[in-house]
Structure 1
């Protein structure tokens, strides 16, 4: 996943969804997915997410989870969602904040990394696991991988005992936290895998991704900002599971 370094032509579907608005590609992923910001005078700014149909998660799943989670935590408001035979799309209202890997925050990891950790803790504390209709448990992740032809090693099918069950983000990499001008993590995006799991499933991915985005040495800063001591066993397990699935 990365911020485009050169102009990207908007697909026809994106142009249709944008109407008269100007569109600029702000994000792309390794699966061919693109996210565009659409702006026009007098119109609410919005984001149009478009990409090929994906066996792991779907934008339909994401829209459903975002609508549900908005009752307790800050996520973008869903405006539209759809799909055709090959592609899917999701249109959401903009939030007045930037991705934690925007250039401003990549240059200030001492602000961004703690903001990500604190925002993840607020998400876990706010959204009620007991009423969440989705799971992101180890067995469910192993089953999802199998449907995509991925064989998960046996030692990753037996997770450590659950520390605290929470509603996990499901892809808590640093780019999916939005940080406002004051350096506070205020919202989350990309919630297609949201579901109940051990909180370390999210913490491990968030901490691991600090090295990808800010360089080495920031993992424990994120965990400290989350408010727990590092659990090396669970961190190692959930990092390996992430890479295997």
Structure 2
């Protein structure tokens, strides 16, 4: 659910006041991240988005800003960083809007048939994964990700009430030990989005238009993206379409690694 539109909030950076005069701000509801998101609209002016997050050691917005700049420079469709600043103890990001709507919204409204959706997701991820991982400065391989998981568990940042049904009733500490025990011996490294859920892929006019929420982008096992995309496709369309997506993506896909990266996602 989105909030009612308002004028620029008083805590927003004062340096943005002139540029954003006339825009109406509309909250975009709660997501999994700690960031607050507003959609900005004004007559005859481009739609913009503002993201803000409290500055802390666990803040994700600074990482997203760096990744959006890199990804845009690599030629992948995503929001363009227009300005970023720190104000009132918060990190602020002003960015362009990716045209269209999320694949999850299009699927729920029946505006994108399952076969087309599956092909869009597979093609978008293949293009991203075809980037040279040696050129990507962001390391999200398991050694680093598992250390981040440990820190989040120790800081009490893992929402155990939000675990999938397969893991409901188990503690974050217990699942962390399971992650360590089941860690794959080899990683199939690509440039991965890191949170390739259907709400983070957009389409316009039946064509893929871009990725959003790119704060976890980095060099990682391709199964990181395939696991979350397949999970969402199964939830929206059924298991047969999740399997069709994996076939459309192609290559050797390891079911155990898909399960592993779904388990990893419980901590974020």
State the TM-score bracket (shorter-chain normalisation): 0.7 to 0.9
Distance 1:186 1:143, change over 3 A: same
2:47 corresponds to: 45
Distance 1:185 1:56, change over 3 A: farther
* Correspondence for 1:179 among 203, 215, 220: 203
Please list every run of 5 or more consecutive structure 1 residues that lacks an aligned counterpart in the other structure: none
1:19 corresponds to: 21
Q: Could you say what the CA RMSD is over the residues aligned between the two structures, in angstroms?
A: 2.6
Q: Does 1:113 align with 2:118?
A: yes
Distance 1:35 1:78, change over 3 A: same
Residues 32 and 51 in structure 1, CA contact (< 8 A), matched pair in contact too: yes
Please list every run of 5 or more consecutive structure 2 residues that lacks an aligned counterpart in the other structure: 155-172
2:73 corresponds to: 71
Distance 1:163 1:153, change over 3 A: closer
In structure 1, what is the Cα distance between the partners aligned to 2:56 and 2:212?
Answer: 17
Residues 118 and 226 in structure 1, CA contact (< 8 A), matched pair in contact too: yes
Distance 1:13 1:207, change over 3 A: farther
* Correspondence for 1:216 among 238, 258, 262: 238
For the residue of structure 2 that corresponds to 1:222, the secondary structure is helix
| Alpha-carbon distance, 1:216 to partner | 3.0
| Alpha-carbon distance, 1:41 to partner | 3.1
User: Bigger radius of gyration, 1 or 2?
Assistant: 2
Residues 223 and 253 in structure 2, CA contact (< 8 A), matched pair in contact too: no
The number of residue pairs the alignment matches comes to: 238
For the residue of structure 2 that corresponds to 1:233, the secondary structure is helix
In structure 2, what is the Cα distance between the partners aligned to 1:43 and 1:167?
Answer: 34
1:237 corresponds to: 260
Q: Does 1:7 align with 2:7?
A: no
In structure 2, what is the Cα distance between the partners aligned to 1:31 and 1:58?
Answer: 8
2:222 corresponds to: 199
| Alpha-carbon distance, 1:56 to partner | 4.5
Residues 56 and 144 in structure 1, CA contact (< 8 A), matched pair in contact too: no
Query: Residues 114-139 of structure 1: CA distance to partner in whole angstroms, max 9, x if unpaired?
Result: 312221111111x2200211111111
2:163 corresponds to: none
For the residue of structure 2 that corresponds to 1:101, the secondary structure is helix
Q: Does 1:136 align with 2:140?
A: yes
Residues 220 and 230 in structure 1, CA contact (< 8 A), matched pair in contact too: no
In structure 1, what is the Cα distance between the partners aligned to 2:34 and 2:184?
Answer: 34
Query: Residues 130-189 of structure 1: CA distance to partner in whole angstroms, max 9, x if unpaired?
Result: 0211111111111112222344533422532435310111111111111121x2223111
Residues 98 and 209 in structure 2, CA contact (< 8 A), matched pair in contact too: no
Distance 1:86 1:148, change over 3 A: farther
